[in-house]
Chain A
Amino acid sequence: MSTRLANTGRLIDRSKQIEFTFNGKRMKGYAGDTLASALLANDQMMVGRSFKYHRPRGVVASGPEEPNALVGLGTGDRFEPNQRATTTELFSGLSAQSQNHWPSLDFDVLAINNKLSRFLTAGFYYKMFIHPRPLWKHVYEPIIRQSAGLGKAPDKELKDADTYEHFYFFADVLVIGGGVAGLQAAKAAAESGAKVLLIEQHNYWGGRAPVDGGTIDGMEPGAWVEKTLEELRGMDNVTLRDRCMGAGVYDHGYALGYERLTDHAPGQGGPRHRLWRIRASQIVTATGAIERPLSFAGNDIPGVMLAASMRDYAVNWGVTPGQKVVVATNNDDAYRTAIALHGAGVEIVRVLDTRDSGGGALMEEVRQLGIRVECGRGIAKVKGTKRVTGVAICAQNGEGGAQEEVAADAVAMSGGWSPVVHLWSHCGGKLVWDQAHANFRPDPERPPLGADGNGFVVAAGAANGASDLGAALQDAQTAGEAAANAAGFTPKTVNAPAAEAPVETPMQPVWLMPAKADIKLRMKSWLDYQNDVKVSDVQLAAQEGFESVEHTKRYTTLGMATDQGKLSNINGLAILADSLGSEIPQVGTTTFRPPYHPISMGAIGGEARGEIFQPLRKTPMYEWHDSNGSDWEPVGQWRRPFAYVRSGETLHDAVNREVKNTRENLGLLDASTLGKLVVKGPDAGKFLDMMYTNMMSTLKIGKCRYGLMCSENGFLIDDGVVARIDEDTWLCHTTTGGAERIHGHMEEWLQTEWWDWKVYVANVTEQLAQVAVVGPNARKVLEKLNEKAGGGMDVSKEALPFMEWRDGEIGGFKARAYRISFSGELSYEIAVAASDGLAFWTALMEAGQEFGVMPYGTECLHILRAEKGFIMIGDETDGTVIPQDLGLHWALSKKKEDFLGKRAHSRSHMADPDRWQLVGLETVDGSVLPDGAYAVGNGVNANGQKNTIGRVTSTYYSSNLGRGIAMGLVKHGPKRMGEVIDFPGTDGKIYKAKIVDQVFYDKEGEKQNV
Chain B
Amino acid sequence: MSDPVSAMSGATFAGLAKVEDSGLQGMITLRGDLASAVLQAAVKAATGAEVPVSGQVALSDQGGVAWMSPDELLLLVPYAEVDAKVSELSEALKGEHALAVNVSDARGVFRLSGEGAREVLGKVCPVDMSAEAFKPGQFRRTRMAQVAAAFWLDHDGVFHIVCFRSVAAYVFNLLSASAHPQSKVVVY
Contact = CB atoms under 8 A, between A and B. Distances in A.
Interface of A: 163, 165-170, 195, 239, 268-271, 274, 277, 279, 606-608, 611-612, 614-620, 637-638, 678, 680-682, 758, 760, 762, 764-768, 789, 811-814, 833-836, 838-839, 843
A768 B146 CA distance: 23
A584 B6 CA distance: 68
B123 interface: yes
A883 B180 CA distance: 53
Contact of A168 (B123, B164, B170, B174): B123
22 contacts: A166-B124, A168-B123, A168-B127, A168-B128, A268-B182, A271-B180, A271-B183, A274-B185, A279-B128, A612-B170, A612-B174, A615-B170, A618-B166, A680-B99, A760-B71, A762-B101, A766-B107, A766-B165, A833-B104, A835-B5, A839-B3, A843-B1
B177 A163 contact: yes
Contact of B173 (A612, A681, A758, A843): A612
A838 B2 CA distance: 10
A638 B180 CA distance: 27
Nearest to A239: B187
A764 B183 contact: no
Contacts, number: 139
A270 B183 contact: yes
In this complex, which of A166, A682, A760 has the most chain B Cβ atoms within 10 angstroms of its Cβ?
Answer: A760
A479 to B, nearest CB: 24
A760 B103 contact: no
Nearest to A759: B97
B99 A681 contact: yes
B130 interface: yes
B101 to A, nearest CB: 5
Nearest to A792: B1
B98 A620 contact: no
B140 to A, nearest CB: 12
Given A170-B133, A766-B165, A838-B5, A607 B122 contact: no
Given A620-B165, A760-B98, A762-B29, A607 B4 contact: no
B39 to A, nearest CB: 13
B166 A764 contact: no
A762 B99 contact: yes
Nearest to B172: A612
B123 A167 contact: yes
B182 A836 contact: no
Nearest to B101: A762
Contact of B165 (A814, A834, A838): A834
Contacts of A838: 5
Contacts of B32: 760
Given A762-B99, A766-B165, 4 more contacts: A271-B180, A767-B103, A814-B83, A839-B1
B126 interface: yes
A620 B1 CA distance: 17
A614 B165 CA distance: 15
A268 B29 CA distance: 46
Nearest to B174: A612
Contacts of A608: 145-146
B145 A270 contact: no
B123 A681 contact: no
A780 B55 CA distance: 51
B178 interface: yes
B26 to A, nearest CB: 11
Given A611-B173, A834-B105, A168 B146 contact: no
Contacts of B97: 681-682, 758, 760
Contacts of A607: 123-124, 145, 174, 177-178
Nearest to B184: A270
A838 B182 CA distance: 37
A281 to B, nearest CB: 12
Nearest 10 CB-CB pairings of A with B: A812-B1, A270-B182, A835-B4, A617-B166, A766-B106, A834-B105, A760-B99, A767-B106, A170-B128, A615-B170
A614 B146 contact: yes
B128 A766 contact: no
Nearest to B163: A615
Nearest to B79: A835
A682 B5 CA distance: 36
A486 to B, nearest CB: 19
B76 interface: no
Contacts of A682: 97
B106 A812 contact: no
Contacts of B164: 617, 766
A789 B182 CA distance: 52
Interface residues of B, number: 53
Contacts of A811: 1
B125 interface: yes
B105 A835 contact: yes
B169 interface: yes
Contacts of A758: 97
A765 B106 contact: yes
A165 B183 contact: yes
Nearest to B119: A167
B99 A167 contact: no
Contacts of A762: 29, 31, 99, 101, 103
B31 to A, nearest CB: 4
B11 interface: no
A813 B145 contact: no
Interface in B131-179: 133, 145-147, 164-167, 169-170, 173-174, 177-178
Nearest to B31: A760
Nearest to A614: B146
B164 to A, nearest CB: 5
Contacts of B4: 833, 835-836, 839
Nearest to B103: A767
Given A274-B185, A617-B167, A811-B1, A163 B180 contact: yes
Contacts of B170: 612, 615-616
A165 B175 CA distance: 12
B102 interface: yes
A789 B1 contact: yes
B116 to A, nearest CB: 12
A606 B183 CA distance: 13
A270 B180 contact: yes
B31 A612 contact: no
A523 to B, nearest CB: 52
Given A167-B123, A835-B105, A619 B98 contact: no
Contacts of B129: 168
Interface string B23-39: 01000010110000000
A168 B165 contact: no
Contacts of A760: 31-32, 71, 97-99
A167 B185 contact: yes
A835 B133 contact: no
A764 B106 contact: yes
Contacts of A614: 146
A767 B145 contact: no
A814 B103 contact: no
A626 to B, nearest CB: 12
Nearest to A269: B182
A277 B5 contact: no
Given A168-B126, A169-B187, A607-B178, A615 B147 contact: yes
Nearest to B167: A615
A765 B167 CA distance: 13
Nearest to B164: A766
Contacts of A789: 1
Given A165-B183, A607-B178, A618-B169, A678 B3 contact: no
A612 B180 CA distance: 14
Contacts of B147: 615
A542 to B, nearest CB: 47
Interface string B1-18: 111111100000000000
B185 A615 contact: no
Contacts of B133: 170
A616 B173 CA distance: 12
Contacts of A166: 123-124
